[in-house]
Amino acid sequence: MKRAVLPLAALWAAALIAAAAPAPRRTPSRAPAPPLDFSGVWEIDEKASVNVPAQMQGAVLAVTQKGNRIWISPQATGKGSPVMAEEIVADDRPYEKSLGPAGKGIVTARWSDDGAALWIDVQAGSDPEPQKNASQRSIWKLSQDRKVWVRESVSISQGTPRQARLVFRKRAGATTPSPAPRPASGAARTPRPAPTP
């Protein structure tokens, strides 16, 4: 039997049709949802807390979270230096941030591997003598019913360590304000390269 031979023109036509066919569309991948959402209005529970700073006594914080960005706005604070509005970006990338009277620092925030906590590391100061600089490591957690927010921290300043445990309770039915288009003063995010280990 003789094989059927397609004319050259037919082959070219088939190739052009194949080339003109639309490529399959790719569905844009969405960033995974954060494991915890701290949104809400929170009142400090001083009796359940340990080593509450003066400015945090009687504190009420409004928190708005969208993905990995967390805005914190104080609604009421205690004595001494006022609690600053701030923004936390939990993407495991270091960035520079104003720390109020302490100047500027490098912040790195990330979710724990099990998704049960947010870890925040702050490094402040550039003195060649490490004991003259300051650092803080905080761990934020929510209770299973999402009504209790616990912030445990260890701070080292001038070589002196200090531990604190702040417990906040969520106000029922309270609504949080939408975050401003730009970060609040002192919360500007300037990415920095990761420090060399």
Q: CATH number for the domain including 143?
A: 2.40.128.20
Instruction: Quote the CA–CA distance of 70 and 184 in Å, as a whole number.
Output: 12
φ/ψ bin of 193: left (φ > 0), alpha (ψ from -120 to 50), beta (otherwise) = beta
Residue 15 inside a domain? The answer is no
Whether residue 196 is predicted with pLDDT greater than 50 in this model: the reply is no
pLDDT tens-digit profile of 42-62? 999 999 999 999 989 999 999
Residue 8 inside a domain? The answer is no
Among the ranges given (16-25, 118-127, 185-194), the one the predictor scored with the smallest mean pLDDT: 185-194
User: What integer pLDDT is reported at residue 10 of this predicted model?
Assistant: 53
Residue 116 inside a domain? The answer is yes
E strands in 81-117: 86-89, 95-98, 104-111
Answer for the pair 96, 105: CB distance below 8 angstroms, yes or no. yes
Residue 13 inside a domain? The answer is no
Instruction: Quote the CA–CA distance of 141 and 138 in Å, as a whole number.
Output: 10
User: What integer pLDDT is reported at residue 173 of this predicted model?
Assistant: 79
Residue 85 inside a domain? The answer is yes
Among the ranges given (39-48, 97-106, 151-160, 183-192), the one the predictor scored with the smallest mean pLDDT: 183-192
Residue 145 inside a domain? The answer is yes
Residue with tokens 């023109």: 9
> Which amino acid, 194?
A
Number of domains in the chain: 1
Residue 2 inside a domain? The answer is no
Expressed as residue numbers, the domain containing 74 is 40-180
Instruction: Kindly give, in sequence order, each residue whose CB lies less than 8 Å from that of residue 51, ignoring residues fewer than 6 positions away.
Output: 162, 163, 164, 165
Query: Cβ of 6: how many Cβ atoms within 10 Å?
Result: 9
Residue 9 inside a domain? The answer is no
User: What integer pLDDT is reported at residue 157 of this predicted model?
Assistant: 82
Supply 94's token pair.
């270091």
Whether residue 12 is predicted with pLDDT greater than 80 in this model: the reply is no
pLDDT tens-digit profile of 161-194? 899 999 999 998 777 666 654 444 344 444 444 4
